[in-house]
Amino acid sequence: MKMISKMQPPGQSVIPLKWDTRQRLALIEATVLWEGRITSSILMQQFGISRGQASKDFSLYHQLAEDNLLYDLNQKAYVASESFTPCFIRGTADEYLRLLEAGNYLGQSVVLPITPTGIGVELLDPPQRKLNFQVLRLVHQAIRQKRQLNVTYHAMNSEPSALTLEPHSLVYNGFRWHIRAYSVTHQTYRDFVLARFLSAPVLSDKALHFAEQDEEWQTFETLTIAPHPDLSPDQQAVIADDFGMDNATLILTVRRALRLYYLRMLHLDGLPESPKVQQIVWVNRAEFEPTSELL
Protein backbone atom coordinates (compact mmCIF):
# COMPACT_ATOMS: atom_id res chain seq x y z
CA MET A 1 0.00 0.00 0.00
CA LYS A 2 1.05 3.55 -0.64
CA MET A 3 0.63 6.52 1.66
CA ILE A 4 -0.95 4.57 4.52
CA SER A 5 1.13 4.54 7.66
CA LYS A 6 1.50 1.12 9.33
CA MET A 7 2.03 2.94 12.62
CA GLN A 8 -1.35 4.69 12.56
CA PRO A 9 -4.65 3.16 13.63
CA PRO A 10 -7.20 2.23 10.93
CA GLY A 11 -9.04 5.22 9.57
CA GLN A 12 -6.06 7.59 9.61
CA SER A 13 -4.16 8.14 6.38
CA VAL A 14 -0.89 10.02 6.05
CA ILE A 15 -2.34 12.67 3.76
CA PRO A 16 -5.10 14.95 5.11
CA LEU A 17 -8.60 14.19 3.85
CA LYS A 18 -11.82 16.16 4.07
CA TRP A 19 -14.49 14.67 6.31
CA ASP A 20 -16.88 13.87 3.43
CA THR A 21 -14.10 12.25 1.40
CA ARG A 22 -13.08 10.08 4.35
CA GLN A 23 -16.72 9.01 4.80
CA ARG A 24 -16.94 7.88 1.18
CA LEU A 25 -13.67 5.95 1.41
CA ALA A 26 -14.89 4.33 4.62
CA LEU A 27 -18.09 3.30 2.85
CA ILE A 28 -16.06 1.74 0.04
CA GLU A 29 -14.18 -0.40 2.56
CA ALA A 30 -17.14 -1.32 4.72
CA THR A 31 -19.32 -2.27 1.75
CA VAL A 32 -16.63 -4.45 0.20
CA LEU A 33 -15.84 -6.06 3.55
CA TRP A 34 -19.39 -6.82 4.68
CA GLU A 35 -21.41 -6.99 1.45
CA GLY A 36 -18.69 -8.50 -0.74
CA ARG A 37 -18.77 -5.97 -3.57
CA ILE A 38 -19.18 -2.28 -4.37
CA THR A 39 -20.00 -0.24 -7.46
CA SER A 40 -19.93 3.42 -8.35
CA SER A 41 -23.73 3.42 -8.17
CA ILE A 42 -23.62 2.64 -4.45
CA LEU A 43 -21.44 5.68 -3.76
CA MET A 44 -23.61 7.86 -5.99
CA GLN A 45 -26.82 6.72 -4.30
CA GLN A 46 -25.59 6.97 -0.71
CA PHE A 47 -23.93 10.39 -0.99
CA GLY A 48 -25.83 12.01 -3.86
CA ILE A 49 -22.67 12.53 -5.92
CA SER A 50 -22.03 12.35 -9.66
CA ARG A 51 -20.46 9.39 -11.45
CA GLY A 52 -17.41 11.54 -12.06
CA GLN A 53 -16.97 12.18 -8.34
CA ALA A 54 -17.44 8.48 -7.59
CA SER A 55 -14.71 7.66 -10.12
CA LYS A 56 -12.40 10.16 -8.42
CA ASP A 57 -13.11 8.52 -5.05
CA PHE A 58 -12.21 5.08 -6.37
CA SER A 59 -9.03 6.49 -7.93
CA LEU A 60 -8.06 8.11 -4.63
CA TYR A 61 -8.76 4.88 -2.76
CA HIS A 62 -6.50 2.99 -5.18
CA GLN A 63 -3.73 5.53 -4.53
CA LEU A 64 -4.03 5.04 -0.77
CA ALA A 65 -4.56 1.28 -0.76
CA GLU A 66 -3.67 0.02 -4.21
CA ASP A 67 -3.72 -3.70 -3.33
CA ASN A 68 -7.08 -3.78 -1.58
CA LEU A 69 -9.59 -3.85 -4.45
CA LEU A 70 -9.91 -5.94 -7.61
CA TYR A 71 -12.37 -5.31 -10.43
CA ASP A 72 -14.58 -8.32 -11.22
CA LEU A 73 -15.72 -8.16 -14.85
CA ASN A 74 -18.50 -10.69 -14.30
CA GLN A 75 -20.06 -8.73 -11.43
CA LYS A 76 -19.05 -5.36 -12.88
CA ALA A 77 -18.03 -4.38 -9.35
CA TYR A 78 -15.01 -4.05 -7.11
CA VAL A 79 -14.31 -6.92 -4.70
CA ALA A 80 -11.79 -7.36 -1.91
CA SER A 81 -8.41 -8.84 -2.75
CA GLU A 82 -6.93 -11.68 -0.67
CA SER A 83 -4.54 -9.15 0.90
CA PHE A 84 -7.30 -6.68 1.79
CA THR A 85 -6.36 -4.63 4.88
CA PRO A 86 -8.80 -1.98 6.18
CA CYS A 87 -7.44 1.56 6.30
CA PHE A 88 -10.54 3.62 7.11
CA ILE A 89 -12.48 1.19 9.29
CA ARG A 90 -11.33 -1.35 11.85
CA GLY A 91 -12.84 -4.36 10.13
CA THR A 92 -13.66 -6.24 13.33
CA ALA A 93 -16.63 -8.29 14.51
CA ASP A 94 -17.28 -5.75 17.27
CA GLU A 95 -17.43 -2.92 14.73
CA TYR A 96 -19.91 -4.86 12.59
CA LEU A 97 -22.18 -5.63 15.53
CA ARG A 98 -22.12 -1.98 16.60
CA LEU A 99 -23.11 -1.00 13.06
CA LEU A 100 -26.08 -3.34 13.34
CA GLU A 101 -27.03 -1.74 16.64
CA ALA A 102 -26.58 1.80 15.34
CA GLY A 103 -28.54 1.00 12.19
CA ASN A 104 -31.39 -0.33 14.29
CA TYR A 105 -31.67 3.02 16.08
CA LEU A 106 -30.57 5.55 13.48
CA GLY A 107 -31.03 4.03 10.05
CA GLN A 108 -28.70 4.74 7.13
CA SER A 109 -26.63 7.88 7.69
CA VAL A 110 -23.45 9.39 6.30
CA VAL A 111 -21.95 9.25 9.78
CA LEU A 112 -22.14 5.43 9.55
CA PRO A 113 -19.85 3.79 6.99
CA ILE A 114 -22.59 1.25 6.24
CA THR A 115 -25.73 -0.10 7.83
CA PRO A 116 -25.79 -3.84 7.00
CA THR A 117 -29.03 -4.94 5.36
CA GLY A 118 -30.62 -8.14 4.21
CA ILE A 119 -30.08 -10.18 7.39
CA GLY A 120 -32.37 -10.85 10.32
CA VAL A 121 -31.37 -8.90 13.44
CA GLU A 122 -33.19 -8.78 16.76
CA LEU A 123 -31.81 -6.64 19.61
CA LEU A 124 -32.80 -7.16 23.22
CA ASP A 125 -32.79 -3.69 24.78
CA PRO A 126 -33.22 -2.86 28.47
CA PRO A 127 -36.22 -0.67 29.36
CA GLN A 128 -35.53 2.91 28.37
CA ARG A 129 -34.69 5.15 31.32
CA LYS A 130 -36.26 8.60 31.42
CA LEU A 131 -33.77 11.04 29.96
CA ASN A 132 -34.59 14.63 29.10
CA PHE A 133 -32.95 15.83 25.90
CA GLN A 134 -32.36 19.30 27.35
CA VAL A 135 -30.53 17.76 30.31
CA LEU A 136 -28.22 15.82 28.00
CA ARG A 137 -27.64 18.81 25.73
CA LEU A 138 -26.61 21.10 28.61
CA VAL A 139 -24.46 18.40 30.22
CA HIS A 140 -22.70 17.97 26.88
CA GLN A 141 -22.08 21.72 26.68
CA ALA A 142 -20.78 21.85 30.25
CA ILE A 143 -18.26 19.09 29.53
CA ARG A 144 -17.11 20.64 26.26
CA GLN A 145 -16.90 24.18 27.68
CA LYS A 146 -15.56 23.09 31.09
CA ARG A 147 -18.39 24.85 32.92
CA GLN A 148 -20.26 24.30 36.15
CA LEU A 149 -23.87 23.12 36.21
CA ASN A 150 -26.48 24.12 38.76
CA VAL A 151 -28.89 21.20 39.04
CA THR A 152 -31.78 19.88 41.11
CA TYR A 153 -31.00 16.23 41.76
CA HIS A 154 -32.93 13.44 43.45
CA ALA A 155 -30.51 10.99 45.06
CA MET A 156 -31.65 7.54 46.17
CA ASN A 157 -31.38 8.22 49.89
CA SER A 158 -32.35 11.87 50.26
CA GLU A 159 -34.86 14.49 49.22
CA PRO A 160 -34.28 16.49 46.00
CA SER A 161 -31.53 19.05 46.49
CA ALA A 162 -29.67 21.80 44.63
CA LEU A 163 -26.14 20.84 43.57
CA THR A 164 -23.30 22.51 41.73
CA LEU A 165 -21.48 20.01 39.53
CA GLU A 166 -18.44 20.14 37.27
CA PRO A 167 -18.88 17.17 34.86
CA HIS A 168 -15.96 15.77 32.90
CA SER A 169 -17.29 12.53 31.32
CA LEU A 170 -20.47 10.79 30.18
CA VAL A 171 -20.63 7.10 31.09
CA TYR A 172 -22.93 4.35 29.82
CA ASN A 173 -22.88 1.22 31.97
CA GLY A 174 -24.89 -0.94 29.59
CA PHE A 175 -28.18 -0.01 31.24
CA ARG A 176 -28.23 3.71 32.03
CA TRP A 177 -26.27 6.92 31.50
CA HIS A 178 -24.57 8.91 34.23
CA ILE A 179 -21.96 11.63 34.47
CA ARG A 180 -18.70 11.62 36.35
CA ALA A 181 -18.44 15.03 37.96
CA TYR A 182 -16.83 16.99 40.74
CA SER A 183 -19.55 17.99 43.18
CA VAL A 184 -18.76 21.45 44.49
CA THR A 185 -21.52 20.85 47.01
CA HIS A 186 -19.90 17.66 48.38
CA GLN A 187 -16.28 18.67 47.64
CA THR A 188 -15.53 15.35 45.92
CA TYR A 189 -15.88 13.47 42.63
CA ARG A 190 -19.06 11.38 42.30
CA ASP A 191 -21.40 9.74 39.78
CA PHE A 192 -24.81 11.23 38.99
CA VAL A 193 -27.56 9.44 37.05
CA LEU A 194 -28.88 11.69 34.29
CA ALA A 195 -32.44 10.41 34.70
CA ARG A 196 -32.47 11.82 38.25
CA PHE A 197 -32.02 15.43 37.15
CA LEU A 198 -35.44 16.92 37.95
CA SER A 199 -35.16 19.80 35.50
CA ALA A 200 -32.80 21.16 32.88
CA PRO A 201 -29.55 22.29 34.55
CA VAL A 202 -28.22 25.82 34.27
CA LEU A 203 -24.74 26.54 32.90
CA SER A 204 -22.73 28.53 35.41
CA ASP A 205 -19.12 29.55 36.12
CA LYS A 206 -16.00 28.03 34.67
CA ALA A 207 -15.14 24.66 36.21
CA LEU A 208 -12.08 24.35 38.45
CA HIS A 209 -11.89 20.55 38.71
CA PHE A 210 -11.30 18.25 35.74
CA ALA A 211 -10.73 14.60 34.84
CA GLU A 212 -7.00 14.96 35.38
CA GLN A 213 -7.59 15.63 39.09
CA ASP A 214 -10.06 12.77 39.53
CA GLU A 215 -7.90 10.15 41.22
CA GLU A 216 -10.39 7.28 40.90
CA TRP A 217 -10.91 8.12 37.23
CA GLN A 218 -7.18 8.22 36.49
CA THR A 219 -6.38 5.04 38.45
CA PHE A 220 -6.60 1.80 36.45
CA GLU A 221 -7.08 -1.58 38.06
CA THR A 222 -6.66 -5.13 36.82
CA LEU A 223 -9.50 -7.62 37.16
CA THR A 224 -8.77 -11.31 36.64
CA ILE A 225 -11.64 -13.41 35.30
CA ALA A 226 -11.68 -17.20 34.88
CA PRO A 227 -14.18 -20.02 34.21
CA HIS A 228 -16.07 -21.21 37.28
CA PRO A 229 -13.90 -23.86 39.01
CA ASP A 230 -16.93 -26.12 39.58
CA LEU A 231 -17.44 -26.57 35.84
CA SER A 232 -15.99 -29.68 34.23
CA PRO A 233 -12.67 -29.29 32.37
CA ASP A 234 -14.48 -29.48 29.02
CA GLN A 235 -17.02 -26.86 30.13
CA GLN A 236 -14.24 -24.58 31.38
CA ALA A 237 -12.53 -24.90 28.02
CA VAL A 238 -15.75 -23.84 26.25
CA ILE A 239 -16.15 -20.77 28.51
CA ALA A 240 -12.48 -19.84 28.10
CA ASP A 241 -12.91 -19.98 24.33
CA ASP A 242 -16.15 -17.93 24.50
CA PHE A 243 -14.35 -15.10 26.31
CA GLY A 244 -11.08 -15.36 24.36
CA MET A 245 -9.16 -16.24 27.50
CA ASP A 246 -5.44 -16.96 27.49
CA ASN A 247 -4.55 -19.96 29.65
CA ALA A 248 -8.12 -19.93 31.02
CA THR A 249 -7.65 -16.35 32.29
CA LEU A 250 -9.02 -13.03 31.12
CA ILE A 251 -7.25 -9.86 32.28
CA LEU A 252 -9.42 -6.71 32.23
CA THR A 253 -8.06 -3.20 32.80
CA VAL A 254 -10.72 -0.80 34.07
CA ARG A 255 -10.88 2.62 35.69
CA ARG A 256 -11.35 2.38 39.45
CA ALA A 257 -14.36 4.70 39.18
CA LEU A 258 -16.02 2.28 36.73
CA ARG A 259 -15.08 -1.04 38.31
CA LEU A 260 -18.45 -1.63 39.96
CA TYR A 261 -20.36 -1.06 36.71
CA TYR A 262 -18.09 -3.42 34.81
CA LEU A 263 -18.57 -6.12 37.44
CA ARG A 264 -22.32 -5.59 37.40
CA MET A 265 -22.33 -5.98 33.62
CA LEU A 266 -20.60 -9.35 34.05
CA HIS A 267 -22.87 -10.23 37.02
CA LEU A 268 -19.80 -10.50 39.24
CA ASP A 269 -20.65 -7.77 41.76
CA GLY A 270 -22.32 -10.16 44.21
CA LEU A 271 -21.17 -13.29 45.99
CA PRO A 272 -20.03 -16.22 43.81
CA GLU A 273 -22.94 -18.14 42.34
CA SER A 274 -23.46 -21.73 41.23
CA PRO A 275 -21.88 -22.43 37.81
CA LYS A 276 -25.41 -23.01 36.51
CA VAL A 277 -26.11 -19.33 37.25
CA GLN A 278 -22.69 -17.74 36.73
CA GLN A 279 -20.15 -19.47 34.49
CA ILE A 280 -17.24 -17.12 35.25
CA VAL A 281 -15.65 -15.98 38.52
CA TRP A 282 -13.71 -12.91 39.66
CA VAL A 283 -10.42 -14.48 40.71
CA ASN A 284 -8.71 -11.54 42.45
CA ARG A 285 -11.79 -10.27 44.30
CA ALA A 286 -9.95 -10.23 47.65
CA GLU A 287 -7.54 -7.52 46.42
CA PHE A 288 -10.27 -4.88 46.21
CA GLU A 289 -12.21 -2.84 48.71
CA PRO A 290 -16.00 -2.40 48.27
CA THR A 291 -16.92 0.31 45.78
CA SER A 292 -19.43 3.04 46.69
CA GLU A 293 -22.89 3.07 45.10
CA LEU A 294 -24.32 5.69 42.77
CA LEU A 295 -25.96 8.65 44.46
User: Is residue 123, in this structure, part of any structural domain at all?
Assistant: no
Q: Which domain holds residue 262?
A: 219-287
User: Is residue 168, in this structure, part of any structural domain at all?
Assistant: yes
Mean pLDDT for the stretch of residues 223-250: 95
Contacts of 279 (CB under 8 A, 6+ apart): 227, 228, 231, 235, 239
**Domain harbouring 91, CATH code:** 1.10.10.10
User: Is residue 293, in this structure, part of any structural domain at all?
Assistant: no
206: left (phi over 0), alpha (psi -120 to 50) or beta: beta
Entry pTM: 0.71
User: Is residue 279, in this structure, part of any structural domain at all?
Assistant: yes
Q: 223 and 197 in one domain?
A: no
User: Is residue 205, in this structure, part of any structural domain at all?
Assistant: yes
User: Is residue 1, in this structure, part of any structural domain at all?
Assistant: no
**Chain mean pLDDT for the chain:** 85
Per residue in 159-189, pLDDT (tens digit) is 999 999 999 999 988 788 899 999 999 999 9
Q: How far apart are CA 199 and CA 229, in angstroms?
A: 49
Per residue in 53-76, pLDDT (tens digit) is 999 999 999 999 888 999 989 888
User: Is residue 63, in this structure, part of any structural domain at all?
Assistant: yes
Question: What per-residue confidence (pLDDT) applies to 122?
Answer: 72
Domain count along the chain: 3
CB 24 within 8 A of CB 57: yes
Q: How far apart are CA 185 and CA 190, in angstroms?
A: 11
Question: What per-residue confidence (pLDDT) applies to 191?
Answer: 96
User: Is residue 268, in this structure, part of any structural domain at all?
Assistant: yes
